[in-house]
């Protein structure tokens, strides 16, 4: 899995750690897991790189919208 730090642009502008790969992603902040998501079979037709890009994009979208987590 790849790891990237992402700072939210709204609210408290906290920094999150995103681990992503072709299977899905994990979002954590302050050492606590905030959200985990498996991409599922819908994305299996995509290539490995495309799935990784999708996982990273979905994770960042979740952070910006606080989907499945609190600030």
Q: What DSSP assignment string belongs to 3-61?
A: EEEEE-SSTT--EEEEEEETTEEEEEETTEEEEEEE--GGGTTS-HHHHHHHHHHHHHH
Residue 19 CB partners (closer than 8 Å, separation 6+): 1, 2, 3, 25, 26, 28
Instruction: Provide the pLDDT confidence category of residue 40 given band limits of 50, 70 and 90.
Output: confident
Is residue 2 helix, strand or coil? Answer: strand
State yes or no: pLDDT of 70 exceeds 90. no
pLDDT (0 to 100) of residue 3: 97
- Domain ranges within the chain, ordered by starting residue: 2-65
pLDDT in tens, 25-39: 999 999 999 999 999
């Amino acid at each position: 899995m790849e790891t990237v730090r992402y700072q939210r642009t709204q609210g408290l502008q906290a920094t999150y750690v995103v681990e992503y790969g072709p299977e899905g992603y994990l979002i954590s902040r302050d050492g606590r897991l905030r959200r985990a998501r498996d991409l599922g079979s819908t994305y299996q037709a995509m290539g490995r790189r495309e799935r990784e890009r999708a996982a990273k994009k979905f994770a960042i979208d979740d952070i910006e919208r606080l989907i499945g987590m609190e600030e």
